Amino acid sequence: MAVRHLQQKDLAERWRVSLRTLERWRWLGIGPAYIKIGSRVVYRLEDIEAYEAEQLRGRA
């Protein structure tokens, strides 16, 4: 199965946050795992979905 990646612009749109917010989260060491190659930052879709599941609140 192929691994899907999202660029930071795509993740910002998915979560309706600014690029600056994602940059700040990376600097603070919070948020989903990411891959940085040169100046390019990408997020694996499986890491994003795992992070979202960890943030889920109010489950019975």
Question: Which amino acid, one-letter code, is at 27?
Answer: W
In three-state secondary structure terms, 4 is coil
Would you state the structure tokens that stand for residue 12, as one six-digit string?
């910002």
Which tens digit of pLDDT belongs to each residue from 40-57?
999 999 999 999 999 988
Question: Which amino acid, one-letter code, is at 58?
Answer: G
Look at the block and give the residue holding tokens 């612009």.
Answer: 9
Which tens digit of pLDDT belongs to each residue from 6-49?
999 999 999 999 999 999 999 999 999 999 999 999 999 999 99
Q: Among residues 1, 5, 4, which one has the least CA distance to residue 36?
A: 5
Q: What pTM, to 2 d.p., does this model score? A: 0.85
Of 60 and 51, more confident: 51
